[in-house]
């Protein structure tokens, strides 16, 4: 007999009927002879709605009270699911994060899990009970309720799987797996049977929204095998683990993209050793998230620095730069909006030179100008015009043979 952790996201528990469907999926796993721990998110758009209500009352609601508020969403789902499971004749019990023994650091809104005391859950499992745990929440040493950051139920599931030494952690969602690229934009997108932890981390950080990046990091650190699969369809999903079978020896396994990117350039910066730290510390102190950074003009006495940000941060970025013009000591600031980031990801890049070169050639042949570039061992990101984004993704998807991946059902 194995132990499975199943996680169901907001859309999978969006209404009473869907909760009934989830109870069915849980019952099947139980009938297969497995012990089951279920982690659930808040129903549908509940969390968003709770956030909206708080924002109507205050422009900066207390973070402690926000955690108090948002954790109610998951509490609704756990109890309803436990009720549905009992109705099916299964023994089930629901727990909030603190009841499940999930301790976190003392940070409201984005706490990390520090420790899990799994004894209570183990006792229930030994008694044959299905344990339903509220995702996205925990408790501090002082008994304060915390949340793990938006999308954090994935992390709850993976952390429980690690603490209970489960055989597997299945992430049930509204898509059937991880795709080579977003099927809503690219018709030829294919479901992948396997993705490595590192590839998934890059894809998740690049905005492939199926998994919370911190959950993937956790799974990697504790060797938890994940499977992303559909809660409505029975087909096989995508397995995420350390070593995966090379699907047709793909060098690039996925293409991620994101629009609404802006490039900001600071021109005529004093080329002193303190310029870089001063600029980026100032931006960081104002919570502006900078992505790709390019410095040019080294070796002369004036340098230029360009960086990319989310377009929604542009106004604030310009204000911060203007306010600190004296200290930062630059000549002018320029910006370009209407950009997008297109990235190729694949562990095969490590041992295959020329992947970036091929990417640039493909883009050039399509008339797509590359404005910024950044790389990691297994990723190349380019910033291009937003209007050419989908065209660029399609061309790369074909050239790196992702359209040839067999359709999986």
213 binds, among ligand ASP, Mg ion, none (CB under 5 to 8 A by kind): none
Q: Which of 60, 57, 43 is nearest to 136 (CA)?
A: 43
Residue 40 or 320 having the CB closest to ligand ASP: 40
- If the CB atoms of residues 7 and 397 are measured against Mg ion, the closer one turns out to be 7
| Residue closer to ligand ASP, measured from CB, 41 or 181 | 41
When CB distances are held under 5 to 8 angstroms depending on the partner's kind, the choice from ligand ASP, Mg ion, none that residue 179 binds is none
Is-contact 65 96, C-beta < 8 A? no
In angstroms, how far is CA 41 from the centroid of its own chain? Answer: 15
136's contact among ligand ASP, Mg ion, none, with CB below 5 to 8 A by partner kind, is ligand ASP
The token pair at 147 is 């949340």
The answer to whether 252 and 400 are in contact (CB under 8 A) is yes
Distance, CA of 300 to CA of 334 (rounded, Å): 20
β-bridge mates for residue 375, sequence order: 380
Phi, psi at 36, each rounded to 5°: -130, 130
DSSP string, 200-221: HHHHHHTT-TTS-HHHHHHHHH
Binds 73: which of Mg ion, ligand ASP, none (CB < 5-8 Å by kind) = ligand ASP
Binding site for ligand ASP (CB under 6 A): 9-10, 41-42, 47, 73, 135-136, 150-153
Write out the DSSP string of 267-301.
EEEE--TTHHHHHHHHHHHTT-----EEEE-TTSS
Compute the least distance from the CB of residue 9 to Mg ion, in Å: 5
> Of 21 and 295, which has the nearer Cβ to Mg ion?
21
94 binds, among ligand ASP, Mg ion, none (CB under 5 to 8 A by kind): none
Q: Which does 42 bind (CB under 5 to 8 A by kind): ligand ASP, Mg ion, none?
A: ligand ASP
Q: How far is CA 323 from CA 317, 327, 386, in A?
A: 10, 9, 29
Identity of the residue, 80 or 303, whose beta carbon is nearer to ligand ASP in the bound complex: 80
Q: If you search the block for the tokens 């969602």, which residue do you land on? A: 173
Span from 146-154, 187-195, 290-298, 310-318 in contact with Mg ion (CB under 5 A)? 146-154
Q: For 170-200, b where at least 16 C-beta lie within 10 A, e where not — what string? A: bbbbebbbbbbbbeeebeebbbbbbbbbbbb
C-beta atoms surrounding 12 within 10 Å: 24
Give the residues across from 133 on adjacent strands: 39, 95
Residue 26 or 42: which CB sits closer to ligand ASP? 42
Is 95 or 136 the residue whose CB approaches ligand ASP more closely? 136
Residue 150 binding: pick among ligand ASP, Mg ion, none (C-beta 5-8 Å cut-off by kind): ligand ASP
Distance CA 308, CA 325 (A): 19
Task: For the beta carbon of residue 293, count every other beta carbon within 10 angstroms.
Answer: 14
What is the smallest separation between the CB atom of 330 and ligand ASP, expressed in angstroms? 38
Which region among 2-10, 92-100, 334-342, 351-359 touches Mg ion (by CB under 5 A)?
2-10
Q: How far is the CB of 158 from ligand ASP (least distance, A)?
A: 12
Pick the binder of Mg ion from 44, 101, 151, 254 (CB under 5 A). Answer: 151
Residue 135 touches which of ligand ASP, Mg ion, none (CB < 5 to 8 A by kind)? ligand ASP
How many residues touch Mg ion under the rule CB under 5 A: the total is: 2
Please report how close the Cβ of residue 113 comes to Mg ion at its closest, in angstroms.
16
**Identified binder of Mg ion from the candidate list 8, 9, 30, 199, rule CB under 5 A:** 9
State phi, psi for 38 to the nearest 5 degrees.
-115, 130
In angstroms, what is the minimal distance from the CB of 355 to ligand ASP?
33
End-to-end CA distance of the chain: 27
Nearer to ligand ASP, 73 or 138 (CB): 73
CA distance 66 to 60: 10
Q: How far is the CB of 153 from Mg ion (least distance, A)?
A: 6
The pair phi, psi for residue 54, each rounded to 5°, is -65, -40
The answer to the question of residue 213 lying near Mg ion (CB under 5 A) is no
Smallest gap from residue 226 Cβ to ligand ASP (A): 15
* Residue 168 interacting entry, from ligand ASP, Mg ion, none, C-beta within 5 to 8 Å by type: none
Residues that bind Mg ion (CB under 5 A): 9, 151
């Amino acid at each position: 007999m194995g132990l499975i952790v199943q996680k169901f996201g907001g859309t999978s528990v969006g209404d009473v009927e869907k909760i009934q469907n989830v109870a069915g999926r849980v019952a099947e796993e139980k009938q297969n002879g497995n012990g089951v721990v279920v982690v659930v998110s808040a129903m549908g758009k509940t969390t968003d709605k709770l956030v909206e209500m708080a924002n109507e009352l205050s422009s900066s609601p207390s973070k402690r009270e926000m955690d108090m508020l948002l954790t109610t969403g998951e509490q609704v789902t756990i109890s309803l699911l436990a009720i549905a499971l009992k109705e099916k004749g299964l023994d089930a019990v629901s727990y909030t994060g603190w009841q499940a023994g999930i301790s976190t650091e003392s940070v409201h809104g984005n706490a990390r899990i520090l420790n899990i005391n799994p004894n209570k859950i183990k006792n229930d499992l030994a008694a044959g009970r299905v344990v339903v745990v509220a995702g996205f929440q925990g408790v501090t040493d002082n008994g304060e309720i915390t949340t793990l950051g938006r999308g954090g139920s994935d992390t709850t599931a993976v952390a429980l799987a690690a603490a209970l030494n489960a055989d597997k952690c299945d992430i049930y969602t509204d898509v059937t797996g991880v795709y080579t690229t977003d099927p809503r934009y690219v018709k030829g997108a294919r479901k992948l049977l396997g993705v490595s932890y590192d590839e998934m981390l890059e894809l998740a950080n690049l905005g492939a929204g199926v998994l919370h990046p911190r959950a993937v990091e956790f799974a990697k650190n504790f060797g938890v095998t994940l499977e992303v699969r559909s809660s409505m369809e029975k087909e096989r999903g995508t397995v995420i683990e350390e070593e995966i079978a090379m699907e047709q020896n793909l060098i690039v396994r996925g293409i991620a993209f994101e629009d609404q990117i802006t490039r900001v350039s600071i021109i005529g910066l004093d080329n002193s050793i303190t310029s870089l730290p001063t600029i980026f510390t100032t931006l960081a102190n104002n919570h502006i998230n900078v992505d790709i950074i390019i410095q040019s003009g080294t070796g002369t006495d004036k340098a230029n620095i360009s960086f990319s940000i989310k377009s929604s941060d542009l106004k604030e970025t310009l204000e911060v730069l203007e306010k600190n013009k004296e200290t930062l000591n630059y000549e002018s600031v320029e910006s370009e909006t209407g950009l997008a980031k297109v990235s190729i990801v694949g562990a095969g890049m490590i041992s295959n030179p020329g992947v970036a070169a091929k990417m640039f050639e493909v883009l050039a042949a399509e008339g797509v100008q590359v404005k910024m570039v950044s790389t990691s061992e297994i990723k190349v990101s380019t910033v291009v015009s937003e209007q050419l984004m989908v065209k660029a993704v399609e061309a790369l998807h074909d050239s790196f043979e992702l359209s040839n991946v067999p359709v999986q059902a």
